[in-house]
Structure 1
Amino acid sequence: MRQSRLAARNQAAAARIIVAPLSTRVAVISDVHANRHALEAVLDAIVAERPDELWCLGDLVGYGPQPNECCSAVAARADLCLAGNHDLVVLGSLSIHDFAGDAATAARWTQTVLADDAREFLAGLEPSGRRDGIELFHGSARDPVWEYVLSEEAAWWTLHATTAPLVLVGHSHVPLAIGFDGEDLAGGVAPDGTVVDLAAGRWLLNPGSVGQPRDGDPRAAYLLLEPGRRAEFHRVDYPIERTQAEMRDRGLPEALVARLTEGL
């Protein structure tokens, strides 16, 4: 049942993809997860970089305590935004039974507090998109909603499902830079300060997570992109304890609170 719903949604998404002119400098974020303090820190850092556009790869809500504030901020700032699985479940487009215990608990709470304007914004998003020469997926090209690109096999399938020289994905909460020279894949986790030469072959990049990193670095993550030239991975500190206090105030699961400290 889940696959049939997703197939229908992905076909509809493909029909509505908007193709827009390529920007010269782009900031890319993903997996905000209702963490306003992390998002504000990233947006402040991005302002200093003076990008032409801001792109978001989805999952504005889920897990965290301030879904409405995060939706409002991204709606006001982002030039392109995708829908993630946590966005879709709060809209009822996915079954909450497809989510694990703590994620389902947070999704149910989010459904009770999500404002009409936030709901309307999320409802207008799709899990995949395209800019000139760049393909964007929340998950992967093979499954834009659910698949994690964490293995060479998953990266290979996504790169072979499109001819784009650059593919951007989110969902895994792990920053990645994986290159493909036509025969072999090379790369992996991209820590803070990683610089990628985009002129050298094809690339799959994941900016990492703003609101719930899972690579052992608790700092909020973002990516600066000069299409066809280079990409830079960045991290920024934010007041984790403030987000954790807000999560506890709202009765969100303690396991979700604790993992922010370690970035896992």
Structure 2
Amino acid sequence: MRVAVVSDIHGNLHALRAVLGAVAAEEVDGLWCLGDLVGYGPRPNECCAEVERAASLCLVGNHDLGVLGRIPLEEFTDDAAAAARWSQSVLSAGARAYLEPLQSVASTEDVELFHASPRDPVWEYVLGEEAALAAFHLTSAPIVLVGHSHVSLAFVLEDGAIDGAAVPGGAEIDLASGRFLLNPGSVGQPRDGDPRAAYLVLDLDAKRALHRRVPYPIERTQEEIRERGLPEALADRLADGV
């Protein structure tokens, strides 16, 4: 099986369409989404519709839950809460119906998927070895997929030793030996200094993972953010990938 993995789209339709266009050339068997379709960005309904059409598996993220009213917005930053309130005001019945039944955890025969982490599937950021090691201890699958941090990451646990770090676009991970925790990065709001939309191709047959980056018209998303009166910082950060 060969699947594309995306996460943290955050209402950025131009980034999502760029990724879906690239994925179409990857000859994958399906697409998995690790959550946060909405929040921050200006096109929540369109992003939900695109993911509903394209994804064979989708998780719910903390921003999705906030927009649905299932997490208090006081738990978010001011900018995130402002964007969530706006998203609540425009969320369509169709988008709500798609998001409502989604869970923050899923699994297949070889892969366990979490929006954030096994220890806290909604909120925990897995950015370092301690959190990654905890994730390995709480799971048994050869491959663990997480999102939430907006950073493309790869950790490997082999012979009791853990190693890993942020990985650039174009990196290829050999999955033949050890257990792996992978983060595809963010489609709609990368935070690793690379503003291009991120995704992952997971080839379970060939035992490799390919971290991909694709450019998109950032200025169009920035314009839409400003047109909707969302916080200026949410537009500015996209150009810097932070």
Same fold (TM > 0.5): yes
Residue aligning to 2:125:
148
Deviation at 1:184, TM superposition (A): 1.0
Deviation sequence 1:28-55 (CA, Å, 0-9, x none): 0000000000000000000011100100
Q: Secondary structure at the match of 2:182?
A: strand
Residue aligning to 2:215:
237
1:218 and 1:196 map into 2 onto residues whose CA distance is 22
Asked whether 1:252 is paired with 2:230, we answer: yes
Residue aligning to 1:97:
74
Deviation sequence 1:182-221 (CA, Å, 0-9, x none): 3111121010111111111000000000000000000000
CA contact (8 A) 2:9 2:188 kept: yes
Q: Secondary structure at the match of 2:24?
A: helix
**Which letter maps to 2:221?**
T
Q: Secondary structure at the match of 2:107?
A: strand
Deviation sequence 1:35-86 (CA, Å, 0-9, x none): 0000000000000111001000000000000000000000011000000000
Larger mean CA deviation between 210-219 and 87-96 belongs to: 87-96
1:126 and 1:96 map into 2 onto residues whose CA distance is 19
- The CA RMSD measured in Å over matched residues stands at 0.6
Q: How does 1:105-254 map to 2 (within 5 A)?
A: 105-227=82-204, 229-254=207-232
TM-score (norm 1): 0.90
Asked whether 1:83 is paired with 2:85, we answer: no
Deviation sequence 1:129-181 (CA, Å, 0-9, x none): 00111000000000000000011110010011011110000000000011000
2:229 and 2:239 map into 1 onto residues whose CA distance is 18
**Which letter maps to 2:234?**
L
Asked whether 1:45 is paired with 2:22, we answer: yes
Residue aligning to 2:48:
71
Deviation at 1:251, TM superposition (A): 0.4
**Which letter maps to 1:255?**
A
**Which letter maps to 1:194?**
A
Kindly indicate which of the two structures has a greater share of residues assigned to helix: 1
Asked whether 1:27 is paired with 2:25, we answer: no
CA contact (8 A) 2:129 2:164 kept: no
Deviation at 1:92, TM superposition (A): 1.0
Larger mean CA deviation between 181-190 and 154-163 belongs to: 181-190
Deviation at 1:242, TM superposition (A): 0.2
1:106 and 1:147 map into 2 onto residues whose CA distance is 21
Structure 1: runs of 5+ lacking an equivalent: 1-23
Aligned residues with identical type, % of pairs: 61
2:160 and 2:49 map into 1 onto residues whose CA distance is 43
**Which letter maps to 2:168?**
P
**Which letter maps to 2:203?**
E
TM-score (norm 2): 0.99
**Which letter maps to 2:191?**
R
**Which letter maps to 1:256?**
L
1:117 and 1:238 map into 2 onto residues whose CA distance is 26
1:245 and 1:100 map into 2 onto residues whose CA distance is 22
